[in-house]
Amino acid sequence: MHLSLSMLLFLLCSRADAGEIIGGTECKPHSRPYMAYLVILTSQNHQKNCGGFLIRRNFVLTAAHCSGRSMTVILGAHNISKKEDTWQKLKVVKQFPHPKYGSILFHHDIMLLKLKKKANLTLAVGTLPLPSQFDFVPPGRMCRVAGWGKTGVMEPGSDTLQEVKMRLMDPEACKHFSTFDHTLQLCVGNPRKTRSAFKGDSGGPLLCAGVAQGIVSYGHPDAKPPGVFTRISHYRPWINKILKEN
């Protein structure tokens, strides 16, 4: 099977036979109120999906490779196959991919989405704090990833939000990814475990002690950990600038 670059990019979900984010479990409904489900129309008029997370009432953070011609964000979702009373569907009016995205393969895979109107904060919809620029999270830390991505390499995406625990690894564990850069990225997932993020989880947050430290970016086509996440702390000055100007 020939894997295109975009397919390689969509590598962030983990599940065992139970059918979760590979090796993960279903989240307690609405226990992750910042999670955003992105419905994206590509330039070829195909639909694709990504994860993202609410950082301001009118801004969602996601991966730059999730960009498209138009986009709708669903907040307050647990099961994305049936509309719930908690849902807030909001149009994206502007996409802000990082200006250097695409200059080096897989680098600067981060994007801000401005929503048409501010989300109402409810029990099912809330914002997630970001790290400061100098919060350089070290290897060894245990973190969590959540998403609606594929629960296995050959499995479909999950209807319900799944999450998985993953360990931050030393940069050496990602040296087989030729463009891995420890200052810009996080190496996530123990290679001896089957837990990982996968296609469809792209853009979702890596949570360490309640703070979003990473964004699902890319990994192996067979979902074998570790995977590479965008290191959010490095991009705080850029994020702050976009938020201030918009």
Q: Spot the catalytic one: 30, 65, 108, 234.
A: 65
Global pTM?
0.89
31 is catalytic: no
Q: Spot the catalytic one: 67, 158, 196, 202.
A: 202
pLDDT at position 206 over 70: yes
pLDDT number for residue 7: 34
Share of residues in the chain with pLDDT > 70 (%): 85
Give all strands of the β-sheet with 142-147 in edge-to-edge order.
25-26, 162-167, 142-147, 205-208, 211-218, 227-231, 185-188
Most confidently modeled of 55-64, 195-204, 213-222?
A: 55-64
Q: Read off the pLDDT of residues 129-157 as tens digits, 9 standing for 90 and up.
A: 999 999 999 999 999 998 988 666 666 77
Query: How many degrees, rounded to 5, is the angle at CA 232 between CA 164 and CA 122?
Result: 65
Cα–Cα distance, 187 to 35 (Å, whole number) = 22
Q: Spot the catalytic one: 78, 98, 109, 201.
A: 109
Q: Read off the pLDDT of residues 55-114 as tens digits, 9 standing for 90 and up.
A: 999 999 999 999 999 999 999 999 999 999 999 999 999 999 999 998 888 899 999 999
Q: What is the rounded average pLDDT for all residues in the chain?
A: 86
pLDDT number for residue 21: 59
78 is catalytic: no
Cα–Cα distance, 102 to 30 (Å, whole number) = 34
132 is catalytic: no
Computed on alpha carbons and rounded to an integer, the radius of gyration of the chain in Å comes to: 16
**Higher pLDDT pick, 18 / 73:** 73
